[in-house]
Structure 1
Amino acid sequence: MKISIIVTTYNRPKALNLVLAGLARQKTTSPIEWEVLIADDGSKNDTFALIQSWQSHFPCALHHVWHEDLGFRAGAIRNRAAAQSKGDYLVFLDGDCVPMPDFLQQHAILAETAWYVAGNRILLSEAFTATLLEQPDAINIMDWSIWQWFTAKLSGKTNRAWPCLRLKIADARKKRRTRWEVVKSCNLGVWRADFIAINGFDESFSGWGHEDSDFAIRLLRLGVGIKDGRFAVPVLHLWHRENDRSKQAENWKKLEETLKSTHIEAKIGLKSLTQ
């Protein structure tokens, strides 16, 4: 199995740099074939330069997939990157979500036919995020002990303690099989075949909001259940200002239409790239 990690970004090179540093530090117990694709929603030249600076010494193939900045089009750029990927299994990650060193390994372990993985995130505070983004060795946070993480939680730097804690809870991971509300596209693992079968993300969702829920619901209709990735594939979510939510109400209406319908394929999705 080859894994393609698709990282969505937009004009936040310092955050993306930390995410790439996290991906560069992946540790596996056995060789895993993988690649990383940066799904760039129209960033400026500083993001281009950053990716180029990493490509010469990255541990796997690192590709840059870009389209013009025409507003928030995360679904469209994810579809474009997925179309260019070579993996059997796709892991979607946001460009402000720093993966732990076993992120690749744990997603490979959790991958299972007829299931997709909903990962979780540990939220970092505004002040702690600002500090990390100005430190050249910020990725050394991955070397913290369990007590350092616990102290960070007590001091308000994070909303959860012990992101390094791993639990073998195989049976419990399938108890929320249909809870589409827990699915976030910032940390999500899905088989390529299933992604193609539902025509990827629905690009008719304009601006921020609910396209990941629509995606999750259509996968469930396909017969693919949700597998809980908590205590296996957490990511550190760097603080950022709230996205423009002017389209949220409109997107919620589209999600309600999805809930009332029976369609499985995205109305505008992967197929639009070849039409």
Structure 2
Amino acid sequence: MANEISIIILTYNRSDALNAVLNALAQQETIPSEVVITDDGSNASHTQITQSFLHSQEWPFRIKYIWHPDIGFTASTARNQGVLNSGGNYLIFLDGDCIPRHDFVSQHVHQRRQGCFINGSRILLDQDITEEIIRRPELVQNSILFWMKQRFFRRINKWIPMVARIPPFLRHASPHFKWSGIRSCNFSLWRDDFFKVNGFDEAFVGWGHEDADFVWRLQRAGLKRINGYWSTEVFHLWHFEASRDRESANARRLGERMTNPTSSYKAEQGLLEGSSHRSEILFSV
């Protein structure tokens, strides 16, 4: 689908947060062509709440909601399934607990370039302001003065990027891999480039480093990194940290790949191989 934008949203047992994210996407300056919600195994209560919410109103974009059973933290698989169920030629990845401001999509679109991917940023919220925004999602569009106040009370970790925007023509596209600042919860690239590296590697199971592996392979394939800091920030809602018991194994896997001169930029277990597990379409309109 030429010139169409697909938003891929990863979610897991956060139906209240997901609803706030969807409302924010419906109010974008640039409306995406479609939104694909890829659920990493939410329980029946959350999937029912989400489906009810999706049916409760008309949306300015196509929506597809896919789900697979809970077999642990399998973000790579879920994101790959989201892409396989999408149709746009430009992909924007967003997590279901990251609420975008009104110009989020337009900032990604204005900064995109051939041969590049965009690594976005986030503003961290504490538990109190998170609970307030869940009750009143419209707060994310509030004035800068409101967010300055939240920073004063240390309810968020920064506010200046919301006003001090760096224009696209000043963005540097780097060919060099850096671990710091990689955020798959706010990330975009051309569809062809996603397929070029065979997507996320599903061999990374559990929390940690599947996103760094993805970025490393993109740059090994010749793509350059544009940091979308100070323009693409999303509000990352507070939550308890996921178990990190697989982090060291995932870090070791990535380290071995990076130090092996014969390593391919294609995922070992990605889009083409993947797991035998496939997602079920729960809702489509």
TM-score, normalisation: structure 2: 0.89
SS of the residue aligned with 2:272?
Answer: helix
- Cα-to-partner distance string for 1:39-66 (whole Å, 9 max, x where unaligned): 1001122332333222441210111111
Deviates more, 1:165-174 or 1:227-236: 165-174
Which residue of structure 2 lines up, in the alignment, with residue 92 of structure 1?
93
Amino acid at match of 1:9: T
Q: CA deviation at 1:178?
A: 2.3
- Cα-to-partner distance string for 1:222-264 (whole Å, 9 max, x where unaligned): 1111001112211000011111000011111011012113310
Q: Which runs of 5+ in 2 are unaligned?
A: 277-285
- 1:26 and 2:24 correspond: no
Identical-residue share of aligned pairs (%):
38
Return the alpha-carbon distance in structure 2 between the equivalents of residues 164 and 90 of structure 1: 23
In the alignment of these two chains, the number of paired residues is: 269
Return the alpha-carbon distance in structure 2 between the equivalents of residues 58 and 50 of structure 1: 17
Which residue of structure 1 lines up, in the alignment, with residue 281 of structure 2?
none
For the 8 Å contact 2:124–2:237, the answer to whether it is kept is: yes
For the 8 Å contact 1:17–1:50, the answer to whether it is kept is: no
Return the alpha-carbon distance in structure 2 between the equivalents of residues 25 and 121 of structure 1: 19
For the 8 Å contact 1:38–1:64, the answer to whether it is kept is: yes
Which residue of structure 1 lines up, in the alignment, with residue 279 of structure 2?
none
- Cα-to-partner distance string for 1:159-186 (whole Å, 9 max, x where unaligned): 0014532524435421654243222110
Which residue of structure 1 lines up, in the alignment, with residue 213 of structure 2?
214
RMSD: 1.8
Return the alpha-carbon distance in structure 1 between the equivalents of residues 210 and 94 of structure 2: 15
Return the alpha-carbon distance in structure 2 between the equivalents of residues 70 and 222 of structure 1: 31
- 1:48 and 2:47 correspond: yes
| Equivalent runs, 1:240-259 vs 2, <5 Å | 240-259=239-258
- 1:73 and 2:74 correspond: yes
Deviates more, 1:12-21 or 1:232-241: 12-21
Say which of 160, 163, 166 aligns to 1:165: 163
Return the alpha-carbon distance in structure 1 between the equivalents of residues 209 and 275 of structure 2: 25
Which residue of structure 2 lines up, in the alignment, with residue 139 of structure 1?
137
For the 8 Å contact 1:2–1:34, the answer to whether it is kept is: yes
| Equivalent runs, 1:216-231 vs 2, <5 Å | 216-231=215-230
Q: Which runs of 5+ in 1 are unaligned?
A: none
User: Once superposed, which parts of structure 1, at least 4 consecutive aligned residues long, lie more than 3 Å away?
Assistant: 168-172
TM-score, normalisation: structure 1: 0.92
SS of the residue aligned with 2:33?
Answer: strand
